[in-house]
Amino acid sequence: MAWLGTTNGRRWVHLRLFDCVPKYVREYGIFRWLLAGEQDEPPSAVRRQHDLVYEREMSETPRAHGARTYQLTIRQLLETPISDQPDEQIVYRGVQRFSYRQLRERVHRLAGALAALGVRSGDTVGVMDYDSHRYLEAFFAVPMMGAVLHSVNVRLSPEQILYTIEHAGDDVLLVHSDFVPLLESIRGRISTVKRFVLIAESNADPGALSTVIPFAGEYEALLASVPARFDFPQLDENVRATTFYTTATTGLPKGVFFSHRQLVLHTLAITACIASQLHASFRRGDVYMPLTPMFHVHAWGIPYVATMLGVKQVYPGRYAPEALLKLIVEEKVTFSHCVPTTLHMLLACPESGRYDLAGWKVLVGGAALPKSLAALALRRGIDVVGGYGLSESCPVLSVSNLDATDLAAPAEAQLDLRIRTGRALPFVDLQIRNGSEEVPSDGQSQGEIVVRAPWLTAGYLKDQKGTDRLWSDGYLHTGDVAHRDARGFVKITDRMKDIVKIGGEWLSSLAIEDVFTAHPGIGDVAVIAMPDAKWGERPLALVVPRPGGETPLTERDLVAHAREYVQKGVLPRQAVLLAVKLVEAIDRTSVGKVDKVALRKKYL
């Protein structure tokens, strides 16, 4: 039985709980202690007395002999579409198509092939591939075996990839032929991997590849060599299913991990949220294509949602702007998710205007959604909303869908809500705290976002110190500064480590970036804090001019541009201390986020 305790002197019990307890139980042990409030831990005699009463009550509760606990495992997510939508399609690059029946068979075959290579429960299987049907098969087959799926971030540096493979303890590694040269550069220092599997495209000849990597076989050939059915074990829902590594901007990447139960609950919560919305919804009848790499937080967990719903899924392979636009139109894609840089890449692509994107629904996260980008998307007929999460949270915590009254307003009036962090998903306890106190939901009071939810990582893999920093006072600390309004809409104003502290006042770097993003002559921008002898810190805007701009940008003009927004009341008065520097490019992480650590090293 889970034990109750205290936090900050308050009992972990609600009065409603007491009201629901049988009368004879109220007279004993833990409940008398709870109400007395005399000490933080109940005496051992009270604990024993309460346990006896609890056991007596449970023994008197009728229970069928055949009843058993139903385990929430990833396998259950695959069963519904097989019975309900068996002929719906999974499409790869528009050239290969599989039904859900075939998906199930290929999942079984992949498990059989991995078992033949020696993979057992508790082993780790790494994958280095583009977004593909193969990755989807691994999303299911590997955890369903009782093994752990390690989705390798192929955009990391070779040294970081080596570190993650070794740290995760990969036993088998599935590698796309495009990444073989990268793997060869670190092969001599990989000590954990016992077998390598080559992934070749359908139009490629695996035998033509010249490599020193001792591949055990090619993916499709291995699948063809085993039976179409695999006897998956019955698993405990708390068994680890996946692991992957955060795109660390300081130090080495950190490993996070999730159980079957966590992934299933995350899937159900996302579905309950976005399937019930009045707009930007995702439900049966939609066509899904991820634009977030599948190596990054399970592509935000949406492939599990798409599979459970049994919708048509489109996997694009390697990202190329025009190829993505072509797939969206030809396959009639209706729902995607991506970071802002990906959406900007598609809308700024020279060929973009030739493609009708009206009706496309896009969830944007990973970084703040600029207001100007959201406005451009709306003008193209794209139903765009912001969302929020982090690697440690599996990842989705909130989505910024609008209510009927909001949707009745003009598009311009909707923008402020669409670009926010949003409202928390079901089962997410999201608080905004200043120290140990929760701040008012007044749309102004700021603090750090801390969260509880059933699917948060329990810590960092093999990193107790990092885990202790992540979890404090029973909450996961995100490091994001935000405020929340009376309707529950959260808006992130900055990262705690990125906020500009001017003479004791906080200035949001994101607010300044949003103002500059709206400037027609600016292609990219990032704001960092620079040291200042008088004020402590002041903002420095690093600006990349838009190629082909009609009028050359000057730093003086850009400072004047920011001051106009101060005069309008859009930016606080501290923004007049802004400095501007024109640069050629903004450093970004492997998943497209601005790398402000690298920028500070380069320009300060």
Burial class (CB within 10 angstroms; exposed 0-12, middle 13-18, buried 19+) of 198: buried
Q: Can 60 be counted among the known catalytic residues?
A: no
How far apart (Å, rounded) are the C-alpha atoms in residues 303 and 315?
10
Distance between CA atoms of 493 and 513, rounded to whole angstroms?
A: 11
The CA distances from residue 447 to 143, 162, 435, 493, 496, in Å, are: 38, 37, 8, 10, 9
Sign of CA dihedral 579, 522, 385, 92: negative
Active-site annotation holds for 246: yes
Is 506 in the active site? yes
Residue of 326, 371, 501, 593 marked active site: 501
Of 218, 237, 392, 448, the catalytic one is: 392
Q: Which of the following is catalytic: 246, 334, 457, 493?
A: 246
Amino acid at 78: L
145 burial type by CB count under 10 A (0-12 exposed, 13-18 middle, 19+ buried): buried
Omega cis (within 30) before 43: no
Look at the block and give the residue holding tokens 């982090």: 390
Whether cis (ω within 30° of 0) applies to the bond prior to 81 is no
Of the residues 322, 438, 506, 535, only one is catalytic, namely: 506
Q: Residue 258 pairs with which residues in a beta bridge?
A: 242
User: How far, in Å, CA of 493 to CA of 154, rounded?
Assistant: 30
Q: In what order do the strands lie in the sheet with 522-532?
A: 522-532, 536-545, 579-582
Q: E-assigned strands of 205-334?
A: 215-218, 240-245, 255-259, 287-288, 312-315
**Three-class DSSP category at 437:** strand
- Tell me the pairing of strands 396-399 and 312-315: unpaired
483 DSSP β-pair partners:
491
Compute the distance between CA of residue 175 and CA of residue 126 in angstroms, rounded to an integer.
Answer: 8
Copy the structure tokens of residue 500: 């500009």
- How many secondary structure helices (H) and strands (E) does the chain include? 22, 29
146 closest CA partner among 58, 236, 217: 236
Rounded Cα gap, residues 514 and 516, in angstroms: 5
Q: Which of 246, 247, 266, 249 is nearest to 258 (CA)?
A: 266
Token pair belonging to 152: 């390798």
Number of Cα atoms under 13 Å in the Cβ half of residue 574: 21
CA torsion angle for 509, 513, 515, 520 (degrees, to 10)? 170
d(CA 91, CA 136): 11
CA distance 315 to 287: 11
C-alpha torsion sign, points 244, 247, 250, 251 = positive
Sheet of 240-245, strand order: 215-218, 195-199, 172-176, 124-128, 148-151, 240-245, 255-259
Distance CA(301)–CA(317), nearest Å, equals 18
Alpha-carbon torsion 289, 375, 546, 590, what sign?
A: negative
- Active site members: 246, 392, 501, 506
